[in-house]
Amino acid sequence: MQMKWAALCIAAVMYVLAVAFRSRRVYFSTLAAFIIILLGMIFPGELFVLPKDILAMDDMTGMRLYAFAYSIGTAVQWNLLMIYTGVMILTALLVYSKVPEKLSSLLLGTVRIPALSMVLVFISAGLLSAFIGAFPALVVIAPVVISLSRQLKFNPSFFLLSAAVLCSVEGSAFYFASPAAYLFSEFSGMTIPQFFMISGRVSVFFISQAVLLTGALFFALYFSRTVKGEYFVAKVRIESPVPVFLFASVIAVLIACSMTPFRFIYVSGFAVLIIAIFGLAWFYLFQKKTIAELFDFLKNLDWNTVFYMIGIFIVAGALKKSGVFDDLAGIIVSHCGTSRLRIFVIVFVVSVFAGAFLDIVPYLILLMPVIGIVSNSYCFSGNILAAAMVAGSCIGTGFTPFTSITMQSALSVLKKENCEIKLLDWVKNVLPAAVIMAAVYAVLLWFLWK
């Protein structure tokens, strides 16, 4: 068996184990990366195709070390990881500042009609998730949902889970929305302004908002049949506006980096990380936190995803260098015919199911390069297949209540409120909206980007 197919088997086993044992997924990706590098060093040139300058040296030690050097230096997207880490820290500081919660309370305070208030809750949840991520947005919006439910005297289960679904829809809307959006931007080369408009066309942000509005109206009509009464919105005191300015500075830096002709590959990552360090210094010094509180703050961040992605990047790098991606793309093209609409629908639908039942981070890292090759084979302009893949997988996380961390967090909140949900009730009340939103997204993306 060729070494590249051994690498593919390692990747497949890693994926299955990561899905089956989510709490230990970082161990599986790290082990897979270690085995890949070890095989590359034992069999130089078979798994990692050696460049001509290394071959010209005729140095076996250099050939063996190339697998390690390429994996750590090239395969791992350090700039993306630095940006993700910095934004993760700043997002946590933004939630701590209570600015998002304050904005939601102000928005809700403008109306007194229950159905309309629900629309505003759903829109707030979606917009917040586009800029700070689905999980932090749910953390912000969950107390509002529980409070409204108590005052209007109805079960909060489907209200909160519906909000979580809408948070998931926004996973591809903007650069900061999710790891999927980071990966999409890195793969496609999309800058922050291009999430809004690209080549004179409406881009993914506005498509996501159209889908968000569709879902919000659907859920509001559903709840308006049974929810009546009056409510009040509790006042929220902002801890500090500083995290907002830090977050705004990150956006400005990333836009500036994308527009400058200077192309040091790590400049944006270092810049975001430095801003995050300033944020931590502000948290410790000006919020008068102890070292223990600072470490608790850092400990509660999602470091698992950071280290998880490092391992997957190394595995994906081996698959790319060995030619597996080209082979997989050839198989897909040969079996999907010549219809561009057919391949678009296949990619979108498969991605929805991947989001519903699998882990989308390795799915995207491993298969997005394959989709790039397929897209070139079908002569697609732009990155419509990559967008379909990312959007489909993000929307798919809202198809089941048990896969994504956002859904699990919502279920955890409901458990504390002594509210249970049955899978059949989910299928009857929430899944139809998720299917409608997926269909709307696919139609809009196809007609606007084809």
Instruction: Report DSSP letters for 360-372, one per residue.
Output: HHHHHHHHHHHHH
pTM, two decimal places: 0.88
The predicted pLDDT at position 231 comes to 62
Using DSSP bridges, classify how beta strands 197-198 and 201-202 pair: parallel, antiparallel or unpaired: antiparallel
List CB contacts of 248: < 8 A, sequence separation 6 or more.
Answer: none
Give the DSSP letter of residue 191: -
List CB contacts of 158: < 8 A, sequence separation 6 or more.
Answer: 223, 421, 425, 429, 430
Cα-trace Rg, the chain: 23
The predicted pLDDT at position 148 comes to 80
pLDDT tens over the chain, length 450 residues: 478 888 999 999 998 898 888 888 999 999 999 999 999 999 988 888 888 887 777 778 888 899 999 999 989 999 999 999 999 999 999 999 999 888 877 777 777 777 778 888 888 889 999 988 888 888 888 888 888 877 777 778 888 888 889 988 898 899 888 899 999 988 888 888 899 998 888 999 999 999 999 998 888 887 776 666 666 667 788 999 999 999 999 999 888 887 776 556 788 899 999 999 999 999 999 999 999 999 999 999 989 989 999 999 999 999 988 888 888 888 888 888 778 899 999 999 999 998 888 788 889 998 899 998 898 888 886 689 999 999 999 999 888 876 678 887 888 788 777 877 777 777 777 888 889 999 999 999 999 987
Alpha-carbon span 94 to 27, nearest angstrom: 30
In which element (H, E) is residue 259 found?
Answer: helix 242-259
CB 129 within 8 A of CB 405: no
User: Residue 168, exposed/middle/buried by CB under 10 A (0-12, 13-18, 19+)?
Assistant: buried
What counts of helices (H) and strands (E) characterise the chain?
22, 2
The predicted pLDDT at position 280 comes to 96
| Secondary structure of residue 338 in the 3-state scheme | coil
